[in-house]
C-alpha cells in the first residue's frame, strides 16, 4: 500500500478535516515502532577493511545483528566473555591475524584479532526505517567493485574522472561488493566505470601533504579515508521509492490502527476508543513477531543441545 492509501484508510473513520500530513507522520511513527519491535526490516551490510583494521563503523540505522558475521565467507564467533582478554599487544599495537570473533560496542563492531589479510566482512542487521524529505530531489547511482571501507549516509562523494559531486541520502541494496546510493545535491554528471570516492576535509588535508591525487589514492586505505568503488551505469530517477512504507507489504494495514489511536487522542474522543485502536496495533505486532521468528520453518524440527544430543 502507498502512504496515500493508508492515509485514506485512517481518515474514513474521522472525516477529511484532519490534516493529511499529520496522519502521515503518525503512520511513519507506527512503522518505526512496528519495525523495531517485530524486527521485520532487515538489511545487508558489507565492509572492505584494510590491513590492521580492528573495527568497523556500523551504519546509522543499525539496531542489532541478524544471523552470522562473515569474513571471507567464514563465520566469526560472537565474543561474549572478556576474561583475560585484550585486543592489544604489550607494545600498544593491535593483535593481528586471521579474524576469529567479533563484538559490538556503541556504534562500532570490533574484529579480533585485527585483520592481517584484506577480505570482505558481511552481515545482515535489523534496521531502523528512514524517511527522506519529499521536497528534495533524489537520484539513484549504482556502484560495484568496492575497494575500500563502505559508503555511509550524509557523506559527500565525487567521481574521479567527471568531478561530479553529490551527498549520500541513503545506501540500499548492498550485496557483497555492490550497492546503490540515493543521492541529493548533485552537481555534474557521473560517468559509467569511473572511480567513486568519499570526499572530506581530512582528504583535502592529506592531498596537500602528498602533493598529488594519485599519491593520495595509493595511500588511501592506510589513511582510512573512506569508500572507493566503481560507478556502475549512470544516474537514474528515484521515482516513487518513498511513496510506500519500507516494512513488508503484508504488515502495512496494521499501521492504520496506530494512526487512528493518535488521532483519537488529539481530538479528545473517547479514551476507550483510542485504547481500542492502540490495542489492535499491539496485537498485530505480537502476531507479526511470531510469524517473523518462524519464517522458513516447516515440518518436524529437531532440538540439539550444546553437547550434540538430539531431542525430537
Q: Region 10-22: what's the mean pLDDT?
A: 88
pLDDT over 50 (residue 255): yes
Q: Region 91-103: what's the mean pLDDT?
A: 90
Q: Region 213-226: what's the mean pLDDT?
A: 86
Q: Region 180-192: what's the mean pLDDT?
A: 96
Q: Which option is the CATH number for 139-241: 1.20.120, 3.30.1490, 2.40.30, 2.60.40?
A: 2.40.30
What's the CA gap between 131 and 210, in Å, rounded?
Answer: 40
Q: What pLDDT, on a 0 to 100 scale, did the predictor assign at position 136?
A: 87
Domains in the chain: boundaries: 3-40+247-293, 42-127, 139-241
Q: What pLDDT, on a 0 to 100 scale, did the predictor assign at position 278?
A: 95
Matching residue, cell 510506500: 244
In this prediction the pTM is 0.86
Per-residue confidence band for 311, with pLDDT thresholds at 50, 70 and 90? very low
Amino acid at each position: 500500500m502507498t502512504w496515500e492509501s493508508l492515509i485514506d484508510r485512517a481518515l474514513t473513520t474521522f472525516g477529511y478535516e484532519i490534516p493529511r500530513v499529520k496522519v502521515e507522520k503518525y503512520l511513519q511513527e507506527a512503522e518505526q515502532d512496528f519495525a523495531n519491535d517485530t524486527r521485520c526490516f532487515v538489511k545487508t551490510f558489507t565492509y572492505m577493511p584494510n590491513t590492521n583494521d580492528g573495527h568497523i563503523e556500523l551504519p546509522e540505522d543499525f539496531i542489532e545483528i541478524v544471523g552470522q558475521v562473515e569474513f571471507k565467507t567464514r563465520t566469526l564467533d560472537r565474543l561474549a566473555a572478556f576474561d583475560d582478554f585484550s585486543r592489544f599487544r604489550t607494545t600498544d599495537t593491535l593483535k593481528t591475524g586471521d579474524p576469529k570473533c567479533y563484538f559490538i560496542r556503541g556504534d562500532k563492531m570490533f574484529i579480533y584479532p585485527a585483520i592481517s589479510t584484506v577480505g570482505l566482512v558481511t552481515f545482515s542487521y535489523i534496521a531502523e526505517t528512514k524517511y527522506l524529505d519529499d521536497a528534495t530531489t533524489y537520484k539513484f547511482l549504482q556502484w560495484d567493485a568496492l575497494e575500500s571501507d563502505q559508503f555511509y549516509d550524509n557523506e559527500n562523494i565525487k567521481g574521479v574522472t567527471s568531478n561530479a559531486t553529490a551527498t549520500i541520502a541513503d545506501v540500499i541494496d548492498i550485496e557483497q561488493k555492490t550497492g546503490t546510493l540515493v543521492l541529493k545535491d548533485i552537481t555534474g554528471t557521473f560517468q559509467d566505470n569511473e572511480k567513486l570516492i568519499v570526499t572530506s576535509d581530512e582528504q583535502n588535508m592529506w592531498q596537500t601533504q602528498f602533493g598529488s591525487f594519485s599519491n593520495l589514492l595509493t595511500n588511501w586505505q592506510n589513511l582510512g579515508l573512506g569508500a572507493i568503488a566503481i560507478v556502475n551505469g549512470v544516474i537514474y530517477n528515484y521515482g516513487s521509492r518513498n511513496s510506500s512504507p519500507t516494512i513488508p507489504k503484508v504488515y502495512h494495514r496494521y499501521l492504520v490502527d496506530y494512526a487512528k489511536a493518535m488521532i483519537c487522542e488529539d481530538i479528545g474522543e473517547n479514551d476507550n476508543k483510542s485504547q481500542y485502536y492502540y490495542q489492535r496495533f499491539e496485537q498485530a505486532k505480537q502476531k507479526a513477531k511470531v510469524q517473523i521468528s518462524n519464517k522458513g520453518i516447516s515440518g518436524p524440527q529437531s532440538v540439539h543441545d550444546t553437547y550434540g544430543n538430539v531431542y525430537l
